[in-house]
Structure 1
């Protein structure tokens, strides 16, 4: 387990690339990460807010996958709609990490590598490895904490959830403070930013929320609120954090996959609580005949679901988070309909077609 780096009581200038940011200064920096075919500079846009008072250094990054832009919208709101004025410490705000994918509306880099599997990187390696190494050297190595903002992969949507290694007390502190209703416990995949940042003493968590290629209103509100909650916890902002109506920790998840090819109609939505054996989607033939109903293998919460209704056998349909608390008991309290999480759940549900369960396919 790693711990955050010790901070000096004296506030010194911050160096980022070729720029110097003085205590009490906020500056927009273009951090060079590569070049075009014609030799022009490709740079990472970064806003550095450097308080004159000592405190934690925190990075907030988005669009490490170029098509996941809900996080970009969240950082925009922090910068402009609700301008961030911290009371101590330093913020590195990076609205787009994968500028290559962002330009082409694609998840990956031009070399088809996943940037979020390329950390800590190598400055003499592939394009993805070089970008990762620069980000680690210039941003992560200077920070005490990190928040990385994500959306679902192509043709899926995610019910908002924070993912963190809860065995690390520092990442657990961030995850609980953020105030998301659902926390998924885990270290993260090999080569992911959060896993590698934690290894070098920068406890980092991620937010997974919404769809790619979209900036969704409820996700923006939830993300901005969560970041402010976290900065309040770290002493960088004053005020009272806003707590969620409920908060569930999850260690185990499972996928439900299509058994036959056809067109899906859902009976649930992202964020819904389901019980073992409950029908979640019916697969219809192309001519409209109900042919198979998928059921939940366990009590859980719909973490993610496919937004493309046309499926083949074996394709992932629904990702279910399995909490330790009883879902039937929680359902009786009607917690899922409360607060911002309930509103986001209802908003996400408007993006899919939910239907009644066909009588001929209902399980015995």
Structure 2
């Protein structure tokens, strides 16, 4: 047994104990504490320390729903290590239903922070020093930005073997390679020795059950892979690893008709969206520039020239697209996500009479 007590945010946590606590990150205009609620759960056996965070962008709530499901479910047991569950990391943005902090800064571009900098930098340093620097691994749950939706996917620096292991263990079926922007939570955490992955899925301002279920299963998969939970992982035999993505942008203004859904595989030259005026006189279409998988898309049907419409991840091998389609078709959670996300947009078959 790991008999040593650990102090988390001013409270001693014994082996086998779980506590609800909070991390004070700032003060309000009335001098009251601004704090992040955190659940710390320790197993009786020693093991890794892992954080699972959500709502780093305060309007991205699918991860919040997934973590709350973990907190409300008494059926799972932590066998080794310590787990930090943070349903809302950016409480100031969350309380305003906003991606950003009150000063319009993006907290996810301010890490590892600065104790004498802006409010965002100061918040970032407290979070980084108090959570990231004390953890061995991290999982950060996100959604698409406002007016967009994403099919669940993991994002990681695949040049880092540990990040690759975590991304594959999560089992989303789609893995995007990238270090993340400078100052982003996952990039700076990984650089500081805490390999961290990001998972994106769904859209802002809601908890979509199908997306939250994907995230919840993925978190459990990672904990099982790290030997922190018992049980077999539920991971596809083949996962699509994507190293290049492209937003396909509108060429004309007008009303879009979508011909693909988030999570669909597409082939080069396939019509993915068409564009018409309000009297349905079609005058433009968008084609896939390469074969790949639809990572995400706009949820706004009206566009102007240059606005992003469909986000495609490039696949070098069409065989991977077939494997992805087969996995989604046979996996109930991902199939449900595909069907659900398709209801957020109107998907139709392309017509023949389109002027490019």
State the Cα distance separating 1:328 from its structure 2 match: 8.6
Structure 1 residues 228 and 261 mapped into 2: Cα distance closer, same or farther (>3 Å)?
Answer: same
Give the alignment partner of residue 343 of structure 2, picking from 329, 343, 350: 350
State the Cα distance separating 1:50 from its structure 2 match: 1.7
- 2:354 counterpart residue number: 361
Equivalent pair of 1:156/1:304 in contact (CA under 8 Å): yes
Give the alignment partner of residue 207 of structure 1, picking from 180, 199, 204: 199
Deviations 1:247-271 (A, max 9, x none): 1111111110011111111011101
For the pair 1:19 / 2:11, whether they are aligned, the reply is yes
For the pair 1:306 / 2:298, whether they are aligned, the reply is yes
- Aligned-residue Cα RMSD (Å) equals 1.8
Equivalent pair of 1:67/1:102 in contact (CA under 8 Å): yes
Question: What is the rounded CA distance, in whole Å, between the counterparts of 1:83 and 1:129 in structure 2?
Answer: 39
Give ranges in structure 1 of 5+ residues lacking alignment: 1-8
Give the alignment partner of residue 240 of structure 1, picking from 232, 247, 261: 232
Equivalent pair of 1:12/1:22 in contact (CA under 8 Å): yes
Q: Please say which of residues 71-80 and 323-332 is displaced more in the overlay.
A: 323-332
**TM-score, normalising length: structure 1:** 0.93
State the Cα distance separating 1:221 from its structure 2 match: 1.4
Question: What is the rounded CA distance, in whole Å, between the counterparts of 2:186 and 2:249 in structure 1?
Answer: 28
- 2:37 counterpart residue number: 45
- 1:324 counterpart residue number: 316
State the Cα distance separating 1:303 from its structure 2 match: 0.3
- 1:169 counterpart residue number: 161
Equivalent pair of 1:274/1:327 in contact (CA under 8 Å): no
Question: What is the rounded CA distance, in whole Å, between the counterparts of 2:324 and 2:77 in structure 1?
Answer: 42
Question: What is the rounded CA distance, in whole Å, between the counterparts of 2:158 and 2:136 in structure 1?
Answer: 17
Q: The residue matched to 1:359 in structure 2 has which SS?
A: coil
For the pair 1:251 / 2:243, whether they are aligned, the reply is yes
Deviations 1:52-99 (A, max 9, x none): 311000000000000000000000011103554201100010000000
For the pair 1:125 / 2:117, whether they are aligned, the reply is yes
State the Cα distance separating 1:124 from its structure 2 match: 1.6
Equivalent pair of 1:276/1:299 in contact (CA under 8 Å): yes
Structure 1 residues 284 and 60 mapped into 2: Cα distance closer, same or farther (>3 Å)?
Answer: same
Deviations 1:82-140 (A, max 9, x none): 55420110001000000011111110000101111110011221111111101111111
Equivalent pair of 1:302/1:320 in contact (CA under 8 Å): yes
Question: What is the rounded CA distance, in whole Å, between the counterparts of 1:343 and 1:245 in structure 2?
Answer: 19
State the Cα distance separating 1:214 from its structure 2 match: 1.4
- 1:76 counterpart residue number: 68
State the Cα distance separating 1:35 from its structure 2 match: 1.1
- 1:115 counterpart residue number: 107
Give the alignment partner of residue 135 of structure 2, picking from 132, 135, 143: 143
- 1:3 counterpart residue number: none
Question: What is the rounded CA distance, in whole Å, between the counterparts of 2:277 and 2:210 in structure 1?
Answer: 34
Q: The residue matched to 2:244 in structure 1 has which SS?
A: strand
Alignment of 1:168-187 (within 5 A): 168-187=160-179
For the pair 1:265 / 2:257, whether they are aligned, the reply is yes
- Large movers: runs of 4+ above 6 Å: none
Give the alignment partner of residue 297 of structure 1, picking from 286, 289, 300: 289
Question: What is the rounded CA distance, in whole Å, between the counterparts of 1:346 and 1:52 in structure 2?
Answer: 41
- 1:4 counterpart residue number: none
State the Cα distance separating 1:331 from its structure 2 match: 7.2
Structure 1 residues 40 and 329 mapped into 2: Cα distance closer, same or farther (>3 Å)?
Answer: closer
Q: The residue matched to 2:224 in structure 1 has which SS?
A: helix
